[in-house]
Chain A
Amino acid sequence: MDIRRDVFQAIADPTRRAIIALIALQAMTPNAIADNFNTSRQSVSKHLRVLAECELIKQEQQGREIYYSLKIEKMKEIDSWLNQFREIWETQFNQLDQVLLNIQKQTKN
């Protein structure tokens, strides 16, 4: 059965976030990725499967090896979703910066 997963489920796990950070730099084979973790190769391939199901990563065959790399478009989706929250907070905090500055000026006078 093909289970469609949510991209946010993919990034909720710290190991999967670490995998994303690794392959963001360069395409890597499953073994090379697993070398960066203390967990078993099976566990790493399970995480890779989740990431692939969420379409956050893609695999390419190069000779006898499979290489995993990031699908940038999908990462952008996460970013645009988050940005809406981030922008609200940024606006609020910039307003607070100004308020703090005003209070500091007033107390100096």
Chain B
Amino acid sequence: MEKNLLFDFTVDKAAKTVYITREFAADLPLVWDAFTKPEILDQWVAPKPWTSKTKYMNFEVGGKRFYAMVSPEGQERWAIQEYTSITPKTHFKMYNAFSDKDENPELPGSEWEYNFSEQNGTTKVSITIFNESLDRLEKMIEMGFNEGFKASLKNLEQLLES
């Protein structure tokens, strides 16, 4: 695996926005598929040992993806994404909200914007995540939870209290 691929991550806590840029050693159509096709998404979006389970996904404007992050113990955390704008192989936007298993969203959610570009076989993906509430931003941590994170979450709580 190439280690010199760009990974840029910044959080603007005041603007409640996260900016992420990452390069991938693959051409654009493949990377686009990896972000927009459920069978590929489910292979990588859940940080191990969590797994991702897409119940359904209609990748079209107004369409939705209903999925769960499943813990090693089988605990399911459901979320709904609604696609609000799509420019094939260039850009898409969605609104993401946690939900219960019956698709009832827990608002507020967050707005996600993805931009894709390719140069010399390397594909750059830029992601902007806007959260209406900071709690929501911190809850995102839980989605990628594993045992190792619990200690650092404690640190975060202490930090936010201080």
Contacts and interface: CB of A to CB of B under 8 A. Distances in A.
B22 A85 contact: no
B29 to A, nearest CB: 11
Contacts of A101: 1, 25
A90 interface: yes
B13 interface: yes
Chain A interface mostly:
helix
A75 to B, nearest CB: 13
A26 interface: no
Interface string A85-105: 111111111111111110110
How big is chain B's contact interface, by range?
35 or more
B8 to A, nearest CB: 10
B34 A96 contact: yes
Interface string B1-36: 100010101111111001010101110001100100
B17 to A, nearest CB: 10
Contact of A92 (B25, B31, B144, B149): B144
A8 B20 CA distance: 18
How big is chain A's contact interface, by range?
20 to 34
A83 interface: yes
A89 B40 CA distance: 17
B43 A95 contact: yes
A97 B1 contact: yes
Given A92-B45, A95-B43, A95-B47, A84 B13 contact: no
Contact of A9 (B10, B14, B25): B14
A89 B9 contact: yes
Interface of B: 1, 5, 7, 9-15, 18, 20, 22, 24-26, 30-31, 34, 40, 43-48, 140-141, 143-144, 149, 152-153, 155-156, 159
11 contacts: A12-B12, A80-B152, A80-B159, A86-B9, A88-B141, A89-B20, A94-B1, A95-B47, A96-B44, A98-B1, A99-B40
